[in-house]
Amino acid sequence: MTATTRRPSRSGIRGGEALSGYLFTAPMLLLLGLFLVVPVLMALWVSFSDWSGRGSPLSGDVHFVGLNNYSALLTGGGLAEQDFGTALKNNAWYVVLVVPLQTALSLFLAVLVNRQILKGRGFFRTAFYFPSVTSSVAITVLWLFLFNSTGAVNKLLSFIGVKGPNWFNDPDGIIHNFFGLFGVKTGPAVLTGNTALGVSWWDWLGGPSVAMTAFVLLAVFTTSGTFMLLFIAGLQSLGGDVTEAAMMDGANGWQRFWKVTLPQLRPTLFTVLTLGLIGCWQVFDQIYTGTKGGPGKTTLTPAFLSYQSAFNNQQWGQGAAIAFILFMIIVFFTLVQRWVLAERKVSKRRMRGYEIPPSGTPVAAPTQPGRDKEGQR
């Protein structure tokens, strides 16, 4: 019934509008479909097939092999599993170091340059942000120079009497090195005897290699500026009233930051952590430009391994399978993070108990939960 009554208006102005709606979005739909949806479906097929890179993956001589590619990576016991385990280990350490460091540094920078009465704010912001706009290739090339065995960094270290390592050629894990200082060269049998994904527990716990550590520093250097801008935006959207109230209450700068400012920044913090995590699991450009996975496969990452297996070793099925496992990992960690940050809502509520009474303004109470929910979504 309603359809018939609407029909005349549809074919009139409304109808024209709908038509142009489809026309306007058609190019983008076509592009997104062709280069995002179709590729993912095709790669999903390849990850279940024995395609070797010759001809079309959709042709008749490509066979469905079930979960073979996935099981070769996860339980195969061969080189594929060991490489995948190594790549996961390397990238996990990379994430563990980069995400907290970049978040803390960018927050620190944001707080420093966000002072109202700071002279040269623009200059400092520009300086901190500039590394973020340069290409990862250019900055990796620079890093290779700075961190070569006789490079600028080791020169600086020599001024304070430290003999720097041969950064990008040093495959030793930094935690292993730390134990090495105390004469511990091999781990207990429990750790060296058992393996997970073809990598011994002792190696899992070895920390990132010295080479990977240089990449960690690179990532912190290039991303802190971007996240600083996000934190500055977050800081500026906070009303000054709560902070002022805390000031009146006699809270010093340190207390104000931890108990008043930081809890209010939770939405921004969530964004930064999520973006950081997603970005860190995708390291590719730097590895491709810098080390190609070496030395001793200690800078191999799943993203690079996926590329290498497919394009260099013609193991297309495995390469695609790695990409999908990586996708799952990223989705998994994003959900975990969302869940962890949402859980703390309880302590946040306690926090709110702190904030309202001293401020005394009734306005502060209703705005608080609203902002909170926005951030969680």
Partner 1 sequence: MSTMTKAATSRSFTRTARPGGRAIAARSLLYALLVALAIVYIFPFLIQVATSFKTEAEAAANPLSLVPATFSTAAYERLFLHSDFPIWFKNSVIVTVFVTLGRVFFNSLAGYALARLNFRGRNLMFAGLIAVMSVPGVVLLIPKFLVINQIGIYDSYAGMIIPLLTDAAGIFIMKNFFESIPVSVEEQARIDGAGTFRVFWSVVLPMARPALVTIIILSFQGSWNELSHFIVSTQSPDLVTLTKGVASLASGQLSQGTQYPIKLAAAAIMTVPVAVMFFIFQKRIMNASDGAVKE
β partners of residue 195: 200
Least gap, CB of 242 to partner 1 (angstroms): 12
When asked if residue 363 is in the footprint of partner 1 (CB under 8 A), the reply is no
Distance CA 9, CA 194 (A): 72
Distance CA 358, CA 338 (A): 31
Q: Judged by CB under 8 A, which of 201, 257, 324, 354 binds partner 1?
A: 324
Query: By CB under 8 A, what part of segment 43-72 binds partner 1?
Result: 43, 46, 56-58
Question: What is residue 258's three-state secondary structure?
Answer: helix
Query: By CB under 8 A, what part of segment 142-161 binds partner 1?
Result: 142, 144-146, 148, 150-152, 155-156
Distance CA 273, CA 97 (A): 12
Tell me the CB-side half-sphere exposure of residue 328, using CA atoms within 13 A.
9
When asked if residue 240 is in the footprint of partner 1 (CB under 8 A), the reply is yes
When asked if residue 110 is in the footprint of partner 1 (CB under 8 A), the reply is no
Closest to 368 in 3D by CA, of 229, 265, 217: 265
Closest to 111 in 3D by CA, of 247, 278, 238, 276: 238
**Tokens 């904030």 belong to residue:** 355
When asked if residue 364 is in the footprint of partner 1 (CB under 8 A), the reply is no
In this structure, the number of other CB atoms found within 10 A of the CB of residue 267 comes to 18
**Single-letter code of the amino acid located at 123:** F
Q: Judged by CB under 8 A, which of 79, 138, 157, 363 binds partner 1?
A: 138
Distance CA 95, CA 215 (A): 11
Q: Judged by CB under 8 A, which of 65, 96, 191, 330 binds partner 1?
A: 330
User: Which residues are CB-contacts of 265 (< 8 A; sequence separation ≥ 6)?
Assistant: 107, 231, 234, 235, 238
Q: Which is nearer to partner 1, 146 or 262 (CB)?
A: 146
Q: Judged by CB under 8 A, which of 67, 79, 141, 342 binds partner 1?
A: 141
When asked if residue 189 is in the footprint of partner 1 (CB under 8 A), the reply is no
Q: Judged by CB under 8 A, which of 70, 80, 83, 125 binds partner 1?
A: 125
Sign (positive or negative) of CA dihedral 319, 321, 322, 328: positive
Distance CA 108, CA 128 (A): 12
When asked if residue 116 is in the footprint of partner 1 (CB under 8 A), the reply is yes
Least gap, CB of 26 to partner 1 (angstroms): 9
Q: Judged by CB under 8 A, which of 34, 79, 340, 365 binds partner 1?
A: 34
Q: Which is nearer to partner 1, 206 or 302 (CB)?
A: 302
Q: Judged by CB under 8 A, which of 320, 341, 355, 358 binds partner 1?
A: 320
When asked if residue 193 is in the footprint of partner 1 (CB under 8 A), the reply is no
When asked if residue 257 is in the footprint of partner 1 (CB under 8 A), the reply is no
Task: Pick the piece of the chain touching partner 1 (CB under 8 A) from 186-194, 317-325, 338-346, 359-367.
Answer: 317-325
When asked if residue 187 is in the footprint of partner 1 (CB under 8 A), the reply is no
Query: By CB under 8 A, what part of segment 274-293 binds partner 1?
Result: 278, 281-282, 284-285, 288-290, 292
When asked if residue 372 is in the footprint of partner 1 (CB under 8 A), the reply is no
Q: Judged by CB under 8 A, which of 7, 9, 11, 31 binds partner 1?
A: 31
When asked if residue 174 is in the footprint of partner 1 (CB under 8 A), the reply is no
Closest to 170 in 3D by CA, of 292, 299, 83: 299
Question: What is residue 49's three-state secondary structure?
Answer: strand
Closest to 257 in 3D by CA, of 115, 99, 98, 100: 115
Give the pair of three-digit tokens for residue 109: 């920078």
When asked if residue 303 is in the footprint of partner 1 (CB under 8 A), the reply is yes
Least gap, CB of 21 to partner 1 (angstroms): 3
